[in-house]
Amino acid sequence: MEKILIVDDSMLSLRILSDILKEEYDVMASKEGREALKMAKEYSPTIILLDIVMPVMDGFEVLAELKQMPETSNIPVIFITSLNDPENEEKGLILGATDYIYKPFSPRVVKARVKNHIDLFLMRKTIEDLALIDALSKIHNRRSFDLRSEVEWARAMREQTCISTAILDIDDFKKYNDHYGHLEGDGVIKSVANRISSSLSRKTDFVARYGGEEFVVLLPATPSENGEKLLQKICENIKDLAIPHAESPTTSVVTVSIGGTSTIPQMGEGIKDFIEIADQMLYKAKKEGKNRVVWNAYPALK
């Protein structure tokens, strides 16, 4: 069931809209802007119905903040208002509102407009999701990682929490493909992707296929020791798959090398430099004999 957040300082309006929509949607309500922003960020509603005229923080201000936060910027917002004039309508549309519903409410109009915008949002989300999923491994792709890492990096900098990341590379994968064939190689990529995914327990943990036989893991709010420990476990879990690799000079089964790093972002530091450190650690893991994790905690990024 799709979630709807209704924001209005009038209890009567909240009750009327809730009664209209509650049979088809999971309805949440808020009477003021600051609380609504917190709820939108926490619960990720499919759509927001937002009153314009509210005390302390009006609907225009709420919409502007919603559009600035990465977690809420794409949520469709329908203004609910009695201000039926072109100037206010134009202002709302320029700020990013998708539509207006005018008071007094017509249940049929409310249902129709909400349904239309939810359908459009879900259709767009499906298309976007397909563009962010790797066709072979069925996990996120490089573009998806780039988008997610920017969001998590900004969050870590804002909240001054530790963020960890790691790049994984299947050892001697070209030799595997040359010996077993590319179809078997595709199967290894799928198996490794599944094993990495199943090793991550938190919803915030993120894995993507970085390209070829490389994968990348992003661990928000994860201190260095926890990140390194988790990636050590992933390294062992992949070896435990016991996929034969007759041409490997390291072991008789498929293994991975992993380079990782952790930091608390500071002003002037960038996510690209952070990822580059993980890539350097991966190079060291390969050079030191493969089938291992090399970790660099709290590197200087400048």
Q: To which residue do tokens 């509210």 refer?
A: 54
Q: Model-level pTM?
A: 0.66
* Residue 9 burial (C-beta neighbours within 10 Å; 0-12, 13-18, 19+): middle
Q: What's the pLDDT tens digit per position in 243-264?
A: 999 999 989 999 999 999 999 9
HEC string for 15-79: HHHHHHHCCCCEEEEECCHHHHHHHHHHHCCCEEEEECCCCCCCHHHHHHHHHHCCCCCCCCEEE
Interior/surface letters 263-288, b for 16+ CB within 10 angstroms, e for the rest: bebeeebebeebbebbbbbbeebbee
pLDDT at 301: 63
Angstrom distance (rounded) from CA 100 to CA 302: 48
Q: Which of 131, 150, 175 is the last residue of a domain?
A: 131
pLDDT at 203: 87
Q: What's the pLDDT tens digit per position in 123-174?
A: 888 887 788 999 999 999 999 999 999 999 999 999 999 999 999 999 999 9
Angstrom distance (rounded) from CA 193 to CA 267: 34
Looking at residue 110, which CATH number applies to its domain?
3.40.50.2300
Angstrom distance (rounded) from CA 169 to CA 216: 9
Contacts of the segment 221-226: beta carbons below 8 A, 24+ positions apart:
221/156, 221/161, 221/162, 221/163, 222/162, 222/163, 222/164, 222/262, 223/162, 223/164, 223/262, 224/162, 224/164, 224/262, 224/295, 224/297, 224/298, 225/297, 226/164
Looking at residue 261, which CATH number applies to its domain?
3.30.70.270
Provide, rounded to the nearest whole percent, the portion of the chain with pLDDT above 70: 99
Q: What is the rounded average pLDDT of the residues 68-76?
A: 90
pLDDT at 6: 97
Angstrom distance (rounded) from CA 256 to CA 195: 12
H or E element, residue 185: helix 182-199
Q: What is the rounded average pLDDT of the residues 96-114?
A: 92
Q: Looking at the structure, do residues 147 and 262 belong to the same domain, yes or no?
A: yes
- In this prediction, residue 85 has a pLDDT band, given cuts at 50, 70 and 90, of confident
Can you read off the two tokens belonging to residue 269?
């530091």
Does residue 261 sit within a domain? yes
Does residue 137 sit within a domain? no
Q: Is the pLDDT of residue 302 over 60?
A: no
DSSP state of 273: H
Q: What is the rounded average pLDDT of the residues 91-119?
A: 92
Q: Is the pLDDT of residue 286 over 90?
A: yes
Q: What's the pLDDT tens digit per position in 91-101?
A: 888 999 999 99
User: Residue 196 region, left (φ>0) first, then alpha (ψ -120 to 50), else beta?
Assistant: alpha
Q: Which of 105, 131, 157 is the last residue of a domain?
A: 131
Pick the catalytic residue from 32, 65, 213, 228: 213
Angstrom distance (rounded) from CA 231 to CA 257: 10
Angle formed at CA 255 by CA 253 and CA 257, multiple of 5 degrees: 160
Nearest to 192 by CA among 245, 267, 270, 263: 245
Q: Is 213 a catalytic residue?
A: yes
Q: Is the pLDDT of residue 300 over 70?
A: no
Can you give the residue range of the structural domain that contains 118? 3-131
pLDDT at 116: 94
Does residue 136 sit within a domain? no
Can you read off the two tokens belonging to residue 270?
């960038």
Q: What's the pLDDT tens digit per position in 10-49?
A: 999 999 999 999 999 999 999 999 999 999 999 999 999 9
Q: Looking at the structure, do residues 148 and 291 belong to the same domain, yes or no?
A: yes
Q: Looking at the structure, do residues 70 and 183 belong to the same domain, yes or no?
A: no
Q: Is the pLDDT of residue 55 over 70?
A: yes
Q: To the nearest whole number, what is the mean pLDDT of the chain? A: 93
DSSP state of 255: -
